[in-house]
Amino acid sequence: MLFRVLPGSPVPLGEQIAACVRGAIADGTAAPGERLPPAREVAESLGVNVHTVLRGYQRLRDESLIELRRGRGAVITAAPGAAGQARLTEAVHGIIGQARELGLTDEEFLALVHHGLASTPVPARPGSGGAAH
């Protein structure tokens, strides 16, 4: 697991740490079941506060990308679709960054997303339309 953070960046350090793990899950360099280094060790390595690292780990747990267990540390989830979920979250962060660059307000951006959702039909899920056959 490779962590790269810029202390001078406007993005909070915890978010940057979460982004490193998310990116590794998205591109497959971090495999399901892989154990993340203990927060204390990451904090020592990066020279940041241990709570900052824990905030990043908690963010990943909220996104269901890792499991935090007492005594076992942080483990990348083995649930199917985690990599896809991570890629989607990355993409969302990407378009939010673009929207901010263009100076869109949050309302304008959300309206854009709503409009996009409304004009895109929900595809039939494979396996859920069994009765129609």
Partner 1 sequence: MTAIRRGTLAAVPYAVATAAYAGVFLANEDRLPGRIATHFSTGGGADDYMSRDGALWFGCALLVGLGLLFTVLTLVSKESAGSRLNTAVGVGTAVTVGYPLILTVLLNTDVQDPADVHLPLWHVAVLLVAGLATGALAWWLMGPGPRPEPAPPAPSLPLAEGEAVAWSRTMMSRVLLITAGAVTLVGAVTLVFGPWQAGLAPLVLGPVCAAFAGVRVTVDRRGLTVTSTVLPRPRLALPLGSIVGADSVEVDPVGEFGGWGYRIRPNRRGVLLRSGEALSVRTAKGREYVVTIDDSTTAAALLNGLTDRHAREHH
C-beta of residue 20 within 8 angstroms of C-beta of residue 5: yes
Residue 63 DSSP symbol:
T
C-beta of residue 83 within 8 angstroms of C-beta of residue 90: no
Q: Is residue 103 involved in binding partner 1 (CB under 8 A)?
A: no
Give the residue among 90, 97, 92, 63 at the shortest CA–CA distance from 77.
Answer: 63
And the tokens for 110?
Answer: 């959300």
And the tokens for 41?
Answer: 């060790």
Q: Give me the sign of the Cα torsion angle 26, 51, 67, 92.
A: negative
Residue 61 one-letter amino acid: R
Closer residue to partner 1, CB minimum distance, 11 or 111:
11
- Considering only 18, 19, 21, 42, the residue that binds partner 1 (CB under 8 A) is 42
Closer residue to partner 1, CB minimum distance, 44 or 106:
44
Selected range binding partner 1 among 4-12, 82-90, 105-113, 114-122, rule: CB under 8 A = 4-12
Q: Is residue 46 involved in binding partner 1 (CB under 8 A)?
A: yes
In the shown chain, the binding pattern of residues 20 to 39 toward partner 1, with x for contact by CB under 8 A and - for none, equals ---------x-----x-x--
Q: Is residue 3 involved in binding partner 1 (CB under 8 A)?
A: yes
**Residue 75 phi, psi dihedral angles, 5° rounding:** -125, 135
- Considering only 19, 25, 48, 66, the residue that binds partner 1 (CB under 8 A) is 48
Q: Is residue 47 involved in binding partner 1 (CB under 8 A)?
A: yes
**Chain positions contacting partner 1, by CB under 8 A:** 1-8, 29, 35, 37, 41-42, 44-48
